[in-house]
Amino acid sequence: MTALLRRDLKLAIRAGGGFGLGLAFFLIVTVLVPFGVGPQSELLSRIAPGILWLGALLACLLSLDRLLALDWEDGTLDLLATSPLPLEAALSVKALAHWITTGLPLVLAAPVLGILLNLPAAGYGWLVLSLLLGTPALSVIGTFGAALTVGVKRGGLLMSLLVLPLYVPTLIFGAEVARRGATGMDPVTPLLMLAGISAGVIAIMPFASAAALRVNLR
Amino acid sequence: MTLMIRDLCVARGGLPVLQGLSFTLAPGQALILRGPNGSGKTTLLRTLAGLQPPLAGQIDGTEEQIAYAAHSDGLKAMLSVRENLTFWADVFGQPDIVPALDAFALRPLIDRLAGTLSAGQKRRLGLARMLVTGRPIWMLDEPTVSLDVDAVAQFAAAVRAHLRAGGAALIATHIDLGLEADVLDVTPFRATQDTRAGASDEAFL
Amino acid sequence: MSMTEDTATPKRPSGFWSYANPVKFLGLSERVLPAVWALAAISLVVGLIWGFFFTPNADKFESTVKIIYLHVPSAMMAINVWVMMLVTSLIWLIRRHHVSALAAKAAAPVGVVMTLIALCTGAIWGQPMWGTWWAWDPRLTSFLILFLFYLGYIALWEAIEDPDTAADLTSVLCLVGSVFAVLSRYAVNFWNQGLHQGASLSLDKEENVADVFYFPLLVCIAGFVLLFLALVLYRTGTEIRLRRTRALQAREARL
């Protein structure tokens, strides 16, 4: 399992691995928002938590089609399915690799982009915490979407259509934590909900993903 | 350890392709699969490798025993030869990649990225992967595609060594490998129009 | 679901499950379809005319209230169709009955239209009542999310060529989607406590809707259920014939 994790991380970092693309996308979306809504700082600071969460979510989504498609094309998934590694474990590891290469950088970059959007000082800690708890769920749910659509040529758009509705609860609770944190309200309830969703999907979704992938490998 | 197939029926796309297939593959034995394109050799190998369920019949002795190699080798262009092999060795819990490198004369290429290899060299690397699985039953689908004469000889030697060590091999190929192997022509087992084996389209007929 | 009990019994094609055979199902649906169409038409015509023209205007709602004869039944169907798809998906995954998977496929476009009717009639009703076409009220938002789930489900069916693969994947999506739809419902409730009135139709009907409105509404609901039944039977029949054609052609082509 660590071999698969090491390999996926190595591949992400080497040329053509797409590492950093999600981060760059996050930056661009955040920069574009003031152009769309205007430069008033109190408006920006009000919508900052939501924009940052939405940007992170979209950046996460964008990198999902590489998650399984490359391994599908070169036959690695066939070989992994015949290896001693259970497919559920393999997909969990791939989701973890996706989180480390996409989710974690987004979490670390979010405070910097928070400055651009004039995020209130009280919000930084809660924003980072909510992203830290929420982005793993995004990766795991995304792996399910990737497993469903891996057999479809140019399935990126289809995958977005399938994955985005599944992101709704995570986004609602995650952004709520960040928003309450920024406005000085008590964010503990949505934080617990978010943690619950993350724990639940990490525990259960790999089984659904593996079931979908097995059907596709058939 | 013996692979036993009894009365197997396999399907592709909801349509039975082979039926009534029975054979055994004992340790030290190799079996060459022959048959025209579309006769179901690949489907048979994928079924035996556990990638798809059989329609009917019994497969014994495949659990955790099979190393499968298909048309695509599962190689990563941005990893070196060493890294590619080490990865699969780790996945299958094998410590050593040296014998695999030697068997397919890959030592000079060890630090080259797999993406810079020629088609034949990639194929050799893909076949070397079989050696790092440590699995006794090899299932090879057209293993000699894009191999030159020397490389085919290397491959045949690797298969022979594997058989001597108590392994077995099931190979779908059209060329003569010079192996002392039985040949199984799948043509007589092709499913006919009125095969009823529980294929998914039968319910609609 | 109760399906697990059925798997324990041996697979004898008798009683209810015998209609899992596509050919037998076609025969049955052809026999009952005319009656279902007729009943659906009668109850819809009676219910809608009764509701639109023979009920008094409620004081505070005026005549806008009459849109409930479309709004409430379609909203109920929007959810129930998804539940029906969930049940048929489970039957397909557990018992591998093709009719079940195809019924789910056939129901999805009906469900999406029901959701759309509920959303549109809601907007038309909401405009005079709340002074806005749309509000991010939990109920409205939940229906919008349900609409997205339907779209994704249909898109997945369309995108995958092999019918059995498509049936398996959409069934898994339907299961996972159901869990997330419920999660979303709670999340949305938490996110915004809204202005939509509570369910207007519950067991203690006296509290919500007076009898004069209640009975025509029941007839309309029956009409929508029958219409759905007719559409699903009809569309499932079409899907079965498509698969049958495909199966025959595949066998033909192989010689």
Banded model confidence at residue C22, pLDDT cuts 50, 70, 90: confident
- Is B205 within 8 Å of chain C by CB? yes
Touching C: A residues 182-201, CB under 8 Å: 190, 193, 197
In a domain, B7, yes or no: no
In a domain, B63, yes or no: no
**What was the ipTM of the complex prediction?**
0.92
* DSSP conformation class of C94: H
In a domain, B79, yes or no: yes
CB atoms within 10 A of CB C185: 18
Give the side-chain half-sphere CA count within 13 A for B148.
6
Partnered with residue B33 across adjacent β-strands are B172, B184
Q: Which of A68, A215, A216 to mutate to test the interface with C (most CBs of C within 10 A)?
A: A215
* Residue-range domain boundaries for chain C: 27-195+205-254
In a domain, B121, yes or no: yes
CATH number of the CATH domain containing B98: 3.40.50.300
Residue type at C53 in one-letter notation: F
Q: What is the pLDDT of residue A90?
A: 94
Banded model confidence at residue C9, pLDDT cuts 50, 70, 90: very low
* Residue-range domain boundaries for chain A: 2-217
Per-residue pLDDT of A89-125, as tens digits, reads 999 999 999 999 999 999 999 999 999 998 998 889 9
* DSSP conformation class of C67: G
- Is A176 within 8 Å of chain C by CB? yes
Touching A: C residues 141-170, CB under 8 Å: 145, 148-149, 151-152, 155-156, 159-160, 165, 168-169
Give the side-chain half-sphere CA count within 13 A for C217.
22
In a domain, B74, yes or no: yes
Give the chain A residue nearest C191 (alpha carbons): A172
Specify whether the CB–CB gap between C4 and C215 falls below 8 A: no
Contact at CB, C152 and A165, closer than 8 angstroms: yes
Per-residue pLDDT of C44-85, as tens digits, reads 999 999 888 887 766 555 677 788 889 999 999 999 999 999
Give the chain B residue nearest A5 (alpha carbons): B87
- Is B12 within 8 Å of chain C by CB? no
Q: What domain range includes position B182?
A: 28-54+69-188
In a domain, B101, yes or no: yes
Partnered with residue B15 across adjacent β-strands are B12
Per-residue pLDDT of C156-184, as tens digits, reads 999 998 888 999 999 999 999 999 999 99
Number of structural domains chain B divides into: 1
Tens digit of each residue's pLDDT, chain A (218 residues): 788 888 888 888 887 667 788 899 999 999 999 999 998 989 999 999 999 999 999 999 988 988 898 899 888 999 999 888 999 999 999 999 999 999 999 999 999 999 999 899 888 999 999 999 999 999 999 999 999 999 888 888 999 999 999 999 999 999 999 999 998 888 898 999 999 999 999 999 999 999 999 999 98
pLDDT at C204 over 70: no
Residues A87 and A119: their CA atoms lie apart, in Å, by 42
End-to-end CA distance of chain C: 43
Instruction: Tell me how close the Cα of B134 comes to any Cα of chain A, in angstroms.
Output: 11
C218 CB-contact burial (10 Å; exposed 0-12 / middle 13-18 / buried 19+): middle
